[in-house]
Structure 1
């Protein structure tokens, strides 16, 4: 099944489908973690506008079926918070529709982002994940080392995030 999924750089024409994956993934991944009211209020249109703006700015790859349907995406770029010395890049987001998870797509998306970051001269990478998100086990399985925790406000509530890091981005290219 993953052979029928192509990983490629996103274009402006992908913004609508990226927005749909973003909203739908949040609703399945974070239901029971963040307030339902926040999830229910998420808008495809608002996310599409955000992604139209972000596509030219970020490194952004999509996972696409043969029929052109986008089933996942990952984005990254410069590390934003500079809390951990030596980590110069970051995966900002990785979302895959629930029914396409656990098929190797996440690993392929992370690899594509890491490869582009490496080409641009970045050496180390980190990603933040909500502590209550089971996806944290994915980052551990692909070699991410827990760096620490921080608080994040979502929908008026505080949540704990965990940073996972790779001191050598090339570890993700294998």
Structure 2
């Protein structure tokens, strides 16, 4: 595998994070998310949206680097899903389309799991679009579907599934 470094995200990474975010959405969510939304996505807007995660001590934000280039990122923190029982939540996990399938996502999840354990979290949840072609990744890591919800984009209700790991340590072991 190419040399990949995982480290805490920095403000200087945000421009590249915004590009990866938009690239992944446009690649993975064709036919899932309305094209009107995908067409409007702007890397600069995405980068700014992620800026607050850098300064929130209750959240973790990691980047994957190939050399100096950001090729993926992940973030997480306390569970925000009111209807689903978990201590922590994986908020984002994105790997550039050109870098997928090389274990980078697994390593990023492992890094988040380590951080969740350090913070005293016992269980983890993540939400994925039901029609996301990559959502089986979470099942391969032992995630169990515990429910469904919807997310609206441009007036279209998109079905989502919620995965849960009752034991963060199990997720950590599977991701390593």
TM-score norm. by structure 1 comes to 0.95
Distance 1:54 1:29 in 2: 23
Which residue in the other structure is 2:33 paired with? Answer: 34
Secondary structure of the residue that 2:55 maps to in structure 1?
A: coil
Residue pairs, 1:99-118, within 5 angstroms: 99-118=98-117
Distance 2:47 2:159 in 1: 27
Q: Does 1:63 align with 2:64?
A: yes
Q: Which moved more, 1:122-131 or 1:149-158?
A: 149-158
TM-score norm. by structure 2 comes to 0.93
Which residue in the other structure is 1:19 paired with? Answer: 18
Distance 1:56 1:159 in 2: 30
Which residue in the other structure is 2:125 paired with? Answer: 126
Distance 1:171 1:108 in 2: 14
Which residue in the other structure is 1:135 paired with? Answer: 134
Q: Does 1:72 align with 2:72?
A: yes
Which residue in the other structure is 2:42 paired with? Answer: 43
Task: Name structure 1 gaps, 5 residues minimum.
Answer: none
Deviations 1:40-67 (A, max 9, x none): 111111112112222222311111012x
User: Once superposed, what is the RMSD of the aligned Cα atoms?
Assistant: 1.0
Task: Name structure 2 gaps, 5 residues minimum.
Answer: none
